[in-house]
Amino acid sequence: MPERTHGFRIDEQKCRGHLACMRACPTQAIRVTDGKARLLPQFCVDCGICLTACPSGAIGAITQSFAELDKFKYKVAVPSPVLFAQFPVGITPARTILGLKALGFDAVWDFTVELALVNRAILDYVEEWNGPFPVLSISCPVIVRLIQVMYPAMIDQLLRLQPPRELAGRELKRKYSEELGLHPDEIAAVYITPCQAKTISILKPAEGVKSNLDGAIGISDVYNDIVALTKDLEKKETVAPPKGPACSVEMLRWAISKGQGNTLRRHRYMSVTGLSNVIQVFEDIYKGKLRNIEYLECDACWGGCIGGNLTVDNIYVTLSKIHRLWSDLPNTDPRVDAEVERRYPIEDFSLKGEVMPRATGKNTGGLKERVKRIKTEEAVNKMLPGLDCGLCGAPTCKTFANDVAAGHASQDDCVMLSGKRLKALQAMYHRKGEESTPEGGG
């Protein structure tokens, strides 16, 4: 099995070279060469925007299958809070858990306690922080990777705490290992994820360490099976859903934007969703314009995790369901509070490794080589029209000039500088048009 370093793959057979993915990518991680999209992995932050931008469906998310979990003796699902608000009204959180077990999981882990623990740890962290503000949340792996690639000077502002899903993976392995007499490596902790970015954050964490989780399965991959299985189970009078609430208000808050705001309501807190909005705010931070915020919660998906690209339901419908679930749940649970009090003094919340800047190759080579590259880039940029048409295969003229200077492209790839390039594109796309037209079609 090839190593997974990013949360999606490009199917060259389906790719029509439409340039849409290249233009949509916020970190300029895609080029179109010979009519096919190519990934520059060092710039990719796994935001998944290219998946929805591609009109040919050539880019698909990578998650895991149940077959890959067969090596484990005991399988535990760790469902994202988003999962519970995806189903029709009749399928309650309790029945969702029943469906996950019918799907093949031996247990389902409610990580409300881990969420409460991290909320408390965040509050202490912010109050004790003496570095530059704002402190940046790390719950969204896309944001962490964005900082690694585009804003490395802000890495020290990242929250140095493990996200709740990681604490859940560690705790469930400890618990079931003791109860069942199994080695922790024989127990699978599987996150049911709303996006492919969290999959890759588990398989290849930004800190370069081993995750406490063993993999992830997309919500869209289990949705239909859970709907079908719960309907079958309802017909069996001997099967009853678990009693009591299967999720909490605290858990559901993390599924939407401002999920951590309730914890930090006495502090200068701000929530930003949507990658383009996050980049705009980060630019202000980078320029020193935003210093009066103590904690910044960022989500790459608009609206928070409910907007993930592996979800099924419309985000507004999901939000409505979350509010309905809230109304049936108590704001606090004495059992959760007691467990938090017990575990908080002895819990290790710190990241297992340091988050480092991503090596993008922009500043490689000696001083003489870098100066030469800069001069070449400036010279090429002066010749370009600045139209950012993308026909060269790069998203902007400035990026194209950088590619030429780095030796990854030729000046002849610009249609304004070479007639050969335009003729080659005409021939290539005309040929593609013929291939895609059914025999006898107009």
pLDDT value at residue 125: 96
Task: Note the pTM of the prediction, 2 decimals.
Answer: 0.89
Q: Is the pLDDT of residue 69 over 90?
A: no
What mean pLDDT is reported for the chain?
A: 89
Let me know: does 33 contact 393? Beta carbons within 8 Å. yes
- Fold classification of 1-61 is Alpha-Beta Plaits (3.30.70)
Q: What is the pLDDT of residues 84-108, one digit of tens each?
A: 999 998 888 888 999 999 999 999 9
Q: Count the alpha carbons within 13 Å of 107 in the hemisphere toward its beta carbon.
A: 16
Strands 59-61 and 8-10, how do they pair? antiparallel
pLDDT value at residue 360: 80
Q: Do domains 1-61 and 362-428 have the same CATH topology?
A: no
Local confidence band at 249 (pLDDT 50, 70, 90 cut-offs): confident
Residue 273 bridge partners (DSSP):
299
pLDDT value at residue 429: 73
Instruction: Provide the residue type at 235 as one letter.
Output: K
pLDDT value at residue 253: 86
What is the length of the chain? 442
Indicate the domain borders of the chain. 1-61, 66-346, 362-428
**3-state DSSP of the chain:** CCCCCCCEEECCCCCCCCCHHHHHCCCCCEEEECCEEEECHHHCCCCCHHHHHCCCCCEEECCCCHHHHCCCCEEEEEECHHHHHCCCCCCCHHHHHHHHHHHCCCEECCCHHHHHHHHHHHHHHHHHCCCCCCEECCCCHHHHHHHHHHCHHHHHHECCECCHHHHHHHHHHHHHHHHHCCCHHHEEEEEEECCHHHHHHHHCCCCCCCCCCCEEEEHHHHHHHHHHHHHHHHHCCCCCCCCCCCCCHHHHHCCCCCCCCCCCCCCCEEEEECHHHHHHHHHHHHCCCCCCCCEEEEECCCCCHHHCCCCCCCHHHHHHHHHHHHHCCCCCCHHHHHHHHHHHHHCCCECCCCCCCCCCCCCCCCHHHHHHHHHHHHHHHHHCCCCCCCCCCCCCHHHHHHHHHCCCCCHHHCCCCCHHHHHHHHHHHHHHHHHHCCCCCC
CA distance 148 to 87: 36
Domain 362-428, CATH class in plain words: mainly alpha
Q: Is the pLDDT of residue 240 over 60?
A: no
Q: Average pLDDT for residues 62-74, to the nearest whole number?
A: 85
Say if residue 122 is exposed, middle or buried (CB neighbours under 10 Å; 0-12, 13-18, 19+): buried
Which CA distances in Å does 344 have to 13, 117, 167, 338, 415? 52, 6, 12, 10, 62
Question: Higher confidence at residue 125 or residue 5?
Answer: 125
Token couple for 53: 């931008």
Q: What is the pLDDT of residues 135-186, one digit of tens each?
A: 999 999 999 999 999 999 999 999 999 999 999 999 999 999 999 999 999 9
CA distance 198 to 217: 10
Local confidence band at 436 (pLDDT 50, 70, 90 cut-offs): low
Local confidence band at 287 (pLDDT 50, 70, 90 cut-offs): confident
Q: Average pLDDT for residues 271-277, to the nearest whole number?
A: 95
Percent of the chain with pLDDT over 90: 65
CA distance 223 to 32: 34
Local confidence band at 348 (pLDDT 50, 70, 90 cut-offs): very high
Q: Is the pLDDT of residue 256 over 60?
A: yes
CA distance 140 to 159: 12
Q: What is the pLDDT of residues 179-208, one digit of tens each?
A: 999 999 999 999 999 999 999 999 889 888
Task: List CB contacts of 105: < 8 A, sequence separation 6 or more.
Answer: 75, 76, 77, 190
Least confident of 12-16, 187-191, 329-333, 386-390: 329-333
Closest to 301 measured CA to CA, from 58, 82, 49, 51? 49
Q: Is the pLDDT of residue 270 over 80?
A: yes
Q: Is the pLDDT of residue 10 over 80?
A: yes
Q: Average pLDDT for residues 246-269, to the nearest whole number?
A: 84
